[in-house]
A and B are shown apart, each in its own frame.
Chain A
Amino acid sequence: MTVTTRTSARARWYKTSKRLAPFAYLSPTLVLLTILSLIPIVMVFYYSLMDNVVMNPDPVFVGLKNYVEILTDDVFHTALFNTLYFTLMSVIFHLIIGLSFAMLLNTDAINPFTKALFRVIYILPWVFTASIIAILWRLMLNPNGVINYLLEWSGLISQKIEWLGSRQVALHAVTFINIWSGYPFYMVSLLAGLQGIPNDMYEAGTIDGANKQQLFRFITLPQLRPIIISLAMLDFIWTMQQFTLIWMTTGGGPIRATEVLSTLTYKMAFSSYEFSLASANAFVILALSLFVAYFYVRHQGATNE
């Protein structure tokens, strides 16, 4: 008797605790994010529905007027196009370069010391604050900078290129800088992911007669898939918001060649003091990001089945 009641009580406790456990694990996160993240976001949403805030002591509710104003603005369209180009190119090349370097650095062919050395060199672009990266590349891409000098010296160009000052080149140049500064994020994360692939999978593959390409395609890539998807989504969201790098190299120029949504938002907020417009713009960026996040979450749900 006693034994059975005890076990059933235990079973019940076990069941409740199992139901509560995920929330318990998430509770610190939820508390933090609710107070420090959700509240300000809700306030920004409220701002976006007003005529103007901060500069205006008595804001008036205007509904979706700010959103209509933004979405019908030509500058917004230019910025959206530039943002998508900048973001997609960055994500694609981050992944390609990050994965290649991670594979290279994971090889057994070289000794651990050499590997450690290269690992450190390869994460270098990652460890500097964005404003310094911007300043450094401004120096190097200056018409009288070292990049033009080296290209001229090697005979690749005959005339100095205005990397950041030309309408045709500037967007590619800032995208390149962003690719350079962002790939180590993938590299390090994928390097970590590669450690999670059990060696016996490769051994089994080799016994089955698979060559290196096949091992990569049928073992490495599928195993890394969850991490790659997480990385790409995060990178997409972050790159959409990249501000300092673009602002401090080109200021969105020349003309509007490198105008992106984040520089536009900044100018609305702190140059024109249109905080409501800026907030509406921020929510457009949020919506675009959530669109991507939605597929990620769906995918997460599917893999957990």
Chain B
Amino acid sequence: MSSALPKSVSKRLSQIGIILVLIIGALFAGFPVLWMISSSFKSNTEIFAYPPSLITDSFSASAYRTVLTDPTKVRFFINSYVVSTLVMIFTLFVGIMGGYSFSRYEFPFKQALNMIVIGVQAIPPITLLIPYFSLIVLLRLYNTYPALILTYMVFTLSYAIIMMTGYFNTLPRALDEAVMIDGGSSFVALWRVLVPISLPGIVSVGVYTFMLAWNEFLFALTLTKTLNMRTVPVGIQMLMGQHSYEWNEMMAMSVLGSLPVLILFLIFQRFFIAGMTAGSVKG
């Protein structure tokens, strides 16, 4: 019994230690964002005031009001939601199958195909802009949602496949072999067994995919034309005028823009529970 007390004390100590480290890390991660939030409540002049302060006399939510009461800007948010959500769903669907194929099968040209999947994203998008734009115009997709959705699928698919291959590789093959022995197809093995176990991985791939689609600027600008098709990053850039920036509105708009991703993450982060996989493997 005597050894139990020091043990709980040391546990307590290590807990405090971890929390301290976590707080230092949180400062590194969160301070710039805190500054962004603070700026979004300042007047444009006070953003440049020296000495700077976190909360100023001019504290006001007017930047948020301006953004949220402008129907054009609200439309940017809606466009971004629609595009990002669909990109996330489609990419996950296609990427999971691709990753499964690379992880579980041996087939001719596998290495070559793998190189292609990686290679297509290794070229600076800026140089692809003009040929890609021509292609979208040719397919008559200019200024439509599908143009953006397909573009971001292409941008995120390589990533999704590579990561899903990685996650599937960490899972024992015995899992899907068990399904096959029971007479199930590989399709069943993938969607009924591997996918549920890989949920943490799928969540992380999904969040990233959503975020890329949410944040991409160059192609969003080029492939759309009218205000009713523009997305949030384009809207933010439009606040960077020729002569001056609307600093506080830009900050407010990006704070608002980050909320859906954070909420999405908050909902799904509960899948990151240690030992969950182990449990489902046994079950």
Contact = CB atoms under 8 A, between A and B. Distances in A.
Interface of A: 18-19, 21-23, 25-26, 28-30, 32-33, 35-41, 43-44, 47, 54, 100-101, 104-110, 112, 114, 116, 118-132, 135-137, 139-140, 142, 144-146, 149, 180, 184-185, 188-189, 191-200, 223-224, 226-227, 229-231, 233-234, 237-238, 240-241, 243-244, 261-262, 265-266, 269-270, 275, 278-279, 281-283, 285-286, 289-290, 293-294, 296-298, 300-301, 303-304
Interface string B186-227: 100000000001101101100110010011110000000000
Contact of B123 (A146, A197, A275, A285): A285
Contact of A118 (B14, B22, B111): B22
B101 interface: yes
B178 interface: no
The size bracket of the interface on B is: 35 or more
B132 A36 contact: yes
A139 B35 CA distance: 10
B100 A25 contact: yes
Contact of B130 (A119, A230, A265, A275): A275
A120 B122 contact: no
A292 B154 CA distance: 21
B18 A293 contact: no
Interface string B113-151: 111111111111111101110010000000000000011
B118 to A, nearest CB: 4
Interface stretch (B1-9, B58-66, B70-78, B265-273): B265-273
Interface SS, A side = helix
B132 A40 contact: yes
A282 B266 contact: no
B283 interface: no
Contacts, number: 328
B115 A293 contact: yes
B31 to A, nearest CB: 9
A235 B125 CA distance: 15
B135 A40 contact: yes
Contacts of A119: 265, 269, 272
Nearest to A53: B130
Contacts of A149: 50-52
Interface in B1-56: 11, 14-15, 18-19, 21-22, 25-26, 28-30, 32-33, 35-36, 39, 47-48, 50-52
Given A107-B18, A109-B15, A189-B163, A36 B32 contact: no
A35 B139 CA distance: 11
A130 B217 contact: yes
A132 B204 contact: no
17 contacts: A37-B121, A44-B127, A101-B25, A109-B18, A119-B269, A124-B33, A127-B261, A136-B35, A192-B200, A192-B203, A193-B170, A195-B275, A196-B277, A227-B167, A227-B170, A240-B122, A275-B130
Given A23-B107, A275-B130, 11 more contacts: A21-B186, A28-B98, A36-B151, A112-B270, A130-B217, A131-B237, A180-B32, A197-B277, A198-B275, A199-B278, A290-B119
B161 interface: yes
Given A128-B254, A192-B204, A286-B123, A144 B48 contact: yes
A188 B132 contact: no
Contact of A123 (B215, B217, B265): B265
Contacts of B82: none
A44 B119 CA distance: 14
Given A25-B98, A229-B166, A300-B102, A293 B119 contact: yes
Contacts of B105: 21-22, 25
Contact of A293 (B28, B122, B257): B122
Given A122-B26, A294-B115, A28 B135 contact: no
A131 B170 contact: no
